[in-house]
């Protein structure tokens, strides 16, 4: 399949220069969805004609930008089903906060993108545009695939373990998991309230930075860095690195050397024991909270729950409050330790996934490298631009201190530019 993402920054510049119009861009995106989505299955429903017409006439900093919404975010004009038959045809009365922000900015929401059930682990049938025999990752499967295939220029997703960074890596696009709660989760289906983080996808890092800036009004799309002079980049060596596949190891090394050639100083950073322990309690925190957030579904409709999420809910229901509180204490220590890492480095560099997208559609991949940074709340950017020898995408993550989202995006954009030079 010929995959060509839509560059959001270029699209916005062309609209603002009068070289094209929102109607033309939105019409072309709808045609591309018509042509490709039968095979990729990135969308579970399309926006009604009146919503598309309103988007064509909209004004704002994202006017004319085709946008996809993960189907765990409420939409007043479309059903929100959370990937579950329990919510078939469920129609919210209001947009989620992030959806309302996108509409206010003028974005053209063209439909709801596929999610695994309750944004968990059970695959939803979406295919990777780079190789339709492979997973696009999850749980933000449809959002990543839709951006990768050029159906939309931006999309929202969510991450509780690795559901933004991993699909971005597998699909060869930029994924941005902000500092915890930078983007609102009001109106998003809760899985684990202390972990759930709304995120964004776009073709490249500069694109996702511009998307985030224009959605939020924050200073997130700064002038490009000329080089990496003065930056100290930590090569984060974790307790799960033995799982990383050889071609991803090689990509990680190449990314490090690209930043070094741009003037950065590389620093080896061994994972502190407190962060290994924090990674180990992620599952307990997640599953205890999920068992409470989805208690009604779990108690009254057990037979309708997909097997992997059901196992998580059963596990979470068996965790005592005392054990959950102990896991939360370990997580808090991990967050403090994560902050201390940035006393000696400006950013960390690590793989966004263990390797390329796995073959088959029976799994969404392993979030082992992502879930720690979800638990600590640090901003992360998955940078595209590297591939396996077979041409499959590989993403590399930039992680920075909590609240330093603009720096993560700027360093990520520099890395992407150097990798593609």
Residues noted as catalytic = 70, 139, 163
Cα 27–chain centre separation: 26
3-state secondary structure of 92: coil
The CB density around residue 203, as the number of other CB atoms within 10 Å, is 25
Classify residue 79 by burial, with Cβ atoms within 10 Å: 0-12, 13-18, 19+.
Answer: middle
First to last CA, the chain: 24
The CB density around residue 6, as the number of other CB atoms within 10 Å, is 22
User: What gap in Å lies between CA 293 and CA 329, rounded to an integer?
Assistant: 20
Radius of gyration, alpha carbons of the chain: 20
**Contact in structure between 145 and 129 (CB atoms under 8 Å):** yes
User: What gap in Å lies between CA 299 and CA 289, rounded to an integer?
Assistant: 15
**Contact in structure between 206 and 221 (CB atoms under 8 Å):** yes
30: part of which helix (H) or strand (E)? Answer: helix 22-40
User: What gap in Å lies between CA 69 and CA 113, rounded to an integer?
Assistant: 6
| Token code pair at residue 165 | 């960074």
| CA count, 13 A, side-chain hemisphere, 121 | 16
DSSP 358: P
Nearest residue to 404 via CA among 164, 227, 179, 177: 179
Q: Give residues with Cβ within 8 angstroms of 292, minimum separation 6.
A: 316
Q: What would the DSSP string read from start to end of 49-69? A: HHHHHHHHH--STTTT-EEEE
């Amino acid at each position: 399949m010929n995959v060509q993402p839509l560059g959001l920054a270029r699209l916005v510049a062309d609209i603002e220069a009068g070289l094209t119009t929102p109607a033309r861009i939105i019409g072309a995106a709808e045609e591309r969805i018509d042509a490709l989505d039968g095979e990729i299955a990135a969308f579970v429903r399309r926006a009604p004609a009146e919503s598309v017409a309103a988007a064509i006439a909209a004004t704002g900093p994202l006017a004319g930008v085709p946008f996809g919404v993960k189907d765990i975010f409420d939409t007043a004009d479309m059903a929100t089903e959370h990937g579950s038959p329990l919510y078939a045809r469920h129609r919210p009365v209001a947009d989620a906060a992030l959806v309302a922000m996108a509409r206010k900015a003028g974005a053209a929401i063209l439909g709801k993108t596929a999610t695994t059930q309750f944004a968990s682990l059970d695959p939803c049938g979406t295919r990777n545009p780079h190789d339709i025999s492979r997973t696009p990752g999850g749980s933000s499967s449809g959002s990543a695939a839709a951006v990768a295939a050029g159906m939309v220029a931006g999309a929202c997703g969510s991450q509780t373990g690795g559901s933004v960074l991993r699909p971005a890596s597998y699909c060869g696009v930029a994924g941005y998991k902000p500092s915890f709660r930078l983007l609102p989760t009001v109106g998003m289906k809760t899985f684990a309230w202390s972990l759930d983080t709304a995120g964004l996808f776009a073709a490249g890092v500069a694109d996702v930075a511009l998307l985030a800036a224009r959605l939020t009004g924050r200073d997130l799309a700064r002038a490009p860095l000329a080089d990496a002079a003065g930056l100290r980049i930590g090569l984060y060596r974790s307790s799960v690195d033995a799982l990383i596949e050889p071609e991803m190891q090689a990509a990680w090394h190449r990314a490090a050397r690209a930043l070094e050639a741009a003037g950065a100083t590389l620093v080896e950073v061994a994972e502190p024991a407190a962060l290994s322990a924090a990674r180990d309690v992620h599952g307990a925190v997640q599953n205890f909270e999920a068992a409470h957030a989805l208690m009604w579904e779990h108690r009254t409709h057990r037979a309708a729950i997909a097997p992997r999420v059901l196992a998580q809910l059963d596990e979470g229901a068996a965790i005592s409050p005392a054990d959950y509180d102990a896991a939360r204490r370990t997580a808090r220590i991990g967050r403090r330790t994560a902050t201390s890492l940035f006393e000696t480095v400006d950013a960390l560099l690590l793989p966004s996934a263990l390797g390329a997208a796995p073959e088959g559609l029976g799994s969404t991949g392993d979030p082992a490298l992502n879930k720690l940074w979800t638990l600590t709340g640090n901003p992360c950017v998955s940078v595209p631009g590297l591939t396996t020898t077979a041409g499959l995408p590989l993403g590399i993550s930039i992680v920075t201190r909590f609240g330093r989202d603009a720096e993560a995006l700027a360093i990520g954009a520099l890395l992407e530019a150097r990798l593609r030079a």
